[in-house]
Amino acid sequence: MKSNKELLVEISELKSQLTVANSLVAGTFKNKDSYNLNFGNTSEIIQSIDPDGEILFVSQAWKDILGYSDEEIKHLNIFDIIHPDHLESCKEQFRQIMDGQFKYNFSTVIVSSSKKKIFLKGVIFPQFINDKVVATHSFFQNVSEENKFLEKSKEIDIKFQKLTETANDAIVILNHKALTIFWNNAATSIFGFSADEMIGKDLHNLIVPDRYLDSYRKGFAKFTKTGKGVLVNQTTEVVAKKKDGQEFPISISMSSLILDNKWHAVGIIRDLTELKKSQEQLVNSEAKLSKFFHEAPIGLAINSMDGKFVDINEEFVKISGYSVSQLNKLSYWDLTPKKYFADEEIQLKDLKEKHIYGPYEKEYIHKKGYLVPVSLKGFIISSEGEDFIWSIVEDLTERKQNEDRIKSLAGEVSQFIDTANAPIFGINSKGKINEWNQTSEKITGYTKEDVMGKGLVDEFITEDYRKSVKKVLDNALKGIQTSNYEFPLYSRDGEKIMILLNASTRRDIQGKIIGVIGVGQDITELSNHRENLENLVKTRTKELEASLEREQELGKMKTSFVSMASHEFRTPLTAIKATADVILRYQEQLSKNDVEKRLHKIINEVGDMTIMLDDILIMGKADSQRLEFNPTNLNIIALVKEIIEDYQLSQEVKREVIIQSSSDQLLVNADPKWIKHIVNNLFSNAIKYSEAPKPIEISIGLENQMVCLIIKDYGIGINKTDHDSLFEPFVRGVNVGVIAGAGLGLAVMKKGVDLHHGAISFNSEIGKGTSFKVLLPILISQ
C-alpha cells in the first residue's frame, strides 16, 4: 500500500500530465478516440467519465482489473457498476467534484464483470471547458486486498459478536503477517486503539514496547511457520503499551488457528493493572495488619482452640510478663487463677456457639505471681482450615486503682458533706430533696428521713419566698449558679432561720445536669443583730435629729436671750441702782421705814431677776432628763393654796382671788418645786395681764381621774395669731404692750407639765380674759 506522501508525489506528476492533456483535449474532447490516444498506454487505473456517468475513457489496467470488454464499456454508465452499498456515497462524492471541488481521496467500490467487489482508492479531478465541468478523471489504486481484511474482520466480528459483546477480555486475531484482522471492544478499551486503527496494521508495532519488539517478531516468524511458540497455549504475563504510550501489565492466552491455510494467532488479553494494584495492596495490608497486631496499644493474643498461645503482641507481653517464646509453651489455663475456671467454661461455650465471647473481667496470673485485673473479649478466626481464638485483652490495673481512688474520694466527700459545719442539701432535677447533712438536721430539726424525697420548695419554704427560691433552684438546674441568696426557713418548732445560700449545679460524669447542691450558712443571729443595729441606727438618727433641733433652738434662744437680757435685765438693774443710790445719798434723811421699803424693792427686783435667770437655765438644759424632777406623794390642794397665799403675801397690792376645790385633799405623786413654779407662773401672768380689781379665779379638782388646775383671769386675752406658738421660748403675745416679760414662763412651765406626763391648754378671748388649764396624772406611788 502506498503512503499518502507517495501518492502526493505521483499526483503532482499526474497534474503536469493533465496540464498537457488539457491543452490537447481542449477542442477535441468529444472525440473518444483522440482521448484514448493521450492516456491509452498508462499502467495506472484511470477512468474518465462525463457528468452523467457515461464512461469516456478507461485505462488498460482498469480493464484488466474490472474485466469489462471494450464493447461492454461503450454501453456502460459508471453508476451501473458501482457496488450498491457504496452507490450513495459515491454519487455524493461525484456531485462535489461536479461542483468543482478537487478531491485527493476518492474511493469507490466497483463490481467487476466476474461480480467481484473491487475496492478502488485514489484521486479525482474535474475538467473544465469555459468554466463548466465536462469530465472527471480518476486515478486509482486497487485496494481490494487490504479491504479483504476488513471484510474478513467484519465476518469474524459477526461470528464473535456474541462473545465480544460480553467479553471483558480483549480478543485479538492476527494473520500470518502479524496484521490485525480482529479487534473487539474490550481491546479498544484496554489499549485505546479503535478497530479501524488496528485492522490491517502490524499489531506488534502498536502494542509491544520497543525493547521487546525484536524478540516478538522473531517469535512470530517462527509461529507462522509452525503454529507454535513460547506464548502459545498458555497464559503469560507480559508488559504491553497503550495508545498513549503508557506501559501496563497484561496476561495473554494465545492459541493458534488456521484460516485460509495460514497460521493465525488468537490472543485473549486481560488488563492486570487493577489486579497488580490489589495484590500490592494485599501485601501492604498484610504488613499493616501485622504491624497493627504487634504494636496495638491493647493486648492481643491468638490461641488455638485448646488454649495454646499461638501469637501475642507486645502489649500482651507487658500484661502477662511472659515473652512470646515463653507463652508459646503455655496455655491460657496457666495464666488463669482457678477461681475463674468456671467462668472461663461459660465464655468458651459462648465462643463455640456464637463465635464471640466477652467482654468479661477476670485476672491473669502475672509471671511474677501477682494477679493482674483484665477485661477480655474475642472471637474465632479461621486460618487454613483451623480455628483460633483471637482475644483482646485490656489491662484494668490502672482503672481499678482509679476506681478505688474515686470510691475513697467519694466517701471522703460524702463524709465531708455530712459533717460539714454548714447546712448542705441537694435536690434532684424534679426539686426533691436527695441530700441533707447533719447541720441541716441540727438547725431545722428535720432528720434526713423526714425530708428525703420531699419537695424542698413546696414543703419547707414559706409562701412569700417560694417563687424566688424556686427561681434560684431552677436557674441552677439550667446551669446558672447563684451566690449569697438570703431566704428564711422555718424549723420544725416554727422558728425562723435565715439562710444565706450558694446554689450550684450538680452534674453527672457525662456533664449532664442532675440536680442542685445548696451550701448554706445560718445567718439568723447575724440577721437579728443586723436588724437590731438597723433599729439602733434609726433611734440614734432620730435622737441626733432631735438634738440637732434642740441645738438649733438653743442657738435661737441664745440670740433671743442676748437681745432679751440687754432689755429685760437693764430695767430691774436700773431700778436697783436708782433705789440703792437714793438710800446711799439720802440715808441721813430717810426714815428706817423708807430704807426698809427701798431695800424690799431691791430684794423683789433681784427675786424677779433670779426667777428669770432660773427659767433661762431651765430652757438651756438641752433635754428633759437633765432637768431635776423629784416627785413625791403630796396633797396638791393644800400645796396650791399655800403657794397662792405666799405669793399674795409678797405682793404690795393684793388682788381678789377666788379658790374653788372639790375637797381639801387630793394626793398626787408630783414634784413640789415644779408645782410651785407652774402655779406661780400662771397666777403671776393672770395678775400681770389683767387689771385690778378684776378677780382671779382658781379651781382645783378631779377630771377624768386627773388633777385639774384652772387659773382664770378677766384680762387682755390672747390674740388668735399667737395661740400656736405661745409655749415656745421668748414668744410673747402681740397685745402685751408695755407689760414686762421675757416670754419664757409658759415654755418652762410646759417642761414641768411634761415631766409629770400631764397636759396644759388654754382658752382665751381678746379683751375678755384667759383661762389656763393644767391636767396632771395622779400616779400615787406606794
List contacts with ligand ADP (CB under 6 A).
Answer: 681, 685-686, 689, 713, 715-718, 726, 732-733, 736, 741-746, 770
Is the Cβ of residue 542 or residue 558 nearer to ligand ADP in the bound state? 558
The burial class, CB within 10 Å (0-12 / 13-18 / 19+), for 109 is buried
Q: Considering beta carbons, is residue 267 or 717 the nearer one to ligand ADP?
A: 717
Q: Closer CB to ligand ADP, residue 572 or residue 715?
A: 715
Q: What residues form DSSP beta bridges with 763? A: 771
Q: Give the chain's radius of gyration (CA, Å).
A: 73
Judged on CB neighbours under 10 Å (0-12, 13-18, 19+), 206 is middle
For the CB of residue 526, give the shortest distance to ligand ADP in the complex, in Å. Answer: 53
* Residue 730 C-beta: closest distance to ligand ADP, Å: 9
- Measured between alpha carbons, how far is 524 from 132 in angstroms, rounded to an integer? 130
Closer residue to ligand ADP (CB): 331 or 735:
735
- State how far Cα 125 lies from the chain centre: 85
Grid cell at residue 401: 486503682
Q: 312 vs 612, which CB is nearer to ligand ADP?
A: 612
Q: Using CA atoms, how far apart are residues 338 and 323, in angstroms rounded to an integer?
A: 23
Residue in 18, 54, 10 with CA at minimum distance from that of residue 39? 18
What whole-number distance in Å separates Cα of residue 467 and Cα of residue 372?
A: 56
Query: Which residues face 570 on adjacent strands?
Result: none
Is 489 in contact with 500 (CB distance < 8 Å)? no
Minimal distance, residue 695 CB to ligand ADP, in Å: 13
How many C-beta atoms lie closer than 10 Å to residue 117's C-beta? 15
How far apart are CB 623 and ligand ADP at their closest, in Å? 21
Distance between alpha carbon 429 and the CA centroid of its chain, in Å? 22
At 374, list the grid cell: 483484665
SS3 label, residue 712? strand
Instruction: For ligand ADP, give the closer residue by CB, 245 or 737.
Output: 737
- Give the cell for residue 200: 490491517
Residues sharing a CB contact under 8 Å with residue 574, sequence separation 6 or more, in sequence order: none
Instruction: Tell the smallest beta-carbon distance from residue 757 to ligand ADP (Å).
Output: 21
Residue for grid cell 405623786: 669
Sequence-ordered list of residues with C-beta below 8 angstroms from that of 331, at least 6 positions apart, any chain: 303, 306, 307, 308, 309
Query: How many beta carbons lie within 10 A of that of residue 508, not counting itself?
Result: 9
Q: Reduce the secondary structure of 124-140 to three states and give it as a string.
A: EEEEEECCEEEEEEEEE
520 class by beta-carbon count within 10 Å (0-12 exposed, 13-18 middle, 19+ buried)? buried
> Shortest gap between Cβ of 746 and ligand ADP (angstroms)?
4
Q: Which is nearer to ligand ADP, 423 or 717 (CB)?
A: 717
Of 118, 161, 139, 154, give the one whose Cα is nearest residue 44: 139
Q: Report in angstroms how near the CB of residue 643 gets to ligand ADP at its nearest.
A: 16
CB of 613 to ligand ADP, least distance (A): 13
Comparison of 501 and 564: residue with beta carbon closer to ligand ADP: 564
Cβ proximity to ligand ADP: between 171 and 710 the closer is 710
**Nearest residue (CB) to ligand ADP, 300 versus 564:** 564
Distance of CA 514 to the CA centre of its chain: 20
> Which is nearer to ligand ADP, 105 or 721 (by Cβ)?
721
Q: Are 424 and 517 in contact (CB under 8 A)?
A: yes
Q: Closer to ligand ADP by CB, 324 or 575: give it.
A: 575
Is the Cβ of residue 284 or residue 660 nearer to ligand ADP in the bound state? 660
CA distance 266 to 254: 6
Instruction: Tell the smallest beta-carbon distance from residue 535 to ligand ADP (Å).
Output: 38
Contact 313, 291 (CB under 8 A): no
E-assigned strand segments in 226-355:
235-241, 247-259, 262-271, 299-304, 309-312
State the minimum distance, in angstroms, from the CB of residue 734 to ligand ADP: 8
Q: How far is the CB of 545 from ligand ADP (least distance, A)?
A: 26
CB of 554 to ligand ADP, least distance (A): 18
Q: What stretches of 338-478 show up as alpha helix (H) in DSSP?
A: 341-354, 397-419, 438-444, 448-451, 456-460, 463-477
Nearer to ligand ADP, 11 or 736 (CB): 736
For residue 713, the minimal CB distance to ligand ADP (Å) is 5
Taking the complex as a whole, how short is the minimal distance between the CB of residue 582 and ligand ADP, in angstroms?
27
Q: Minimum distance between the CB of residue 772 and ligand ADP, rounded to whole angstroms? A: 7
Nearest CB to ligand ADP, comparing residues 242 and 621: 621
Q: How far is the CB of 581 from ligand ADP (least distance, A)?
A: 27
Least separation, in Å, of the C-beta of 620 and ligand ADP? 16
Exposed, middle or buried: residue 28 (CB in 10 Å: 0-12, 13-18, 19+)? exposed
For ligand ADP, the closer of residues 362 and 677 by Cβ is 677
Sheet of 170-174, strands arranged across: 180-183, 170-174, 262-271, 247-259, 235-241
Residue 103 or 732: which CB sits closer to ligand ADP? Answer: 732
Residue type, 296: A
End-to-end CA distance of the chain: 164
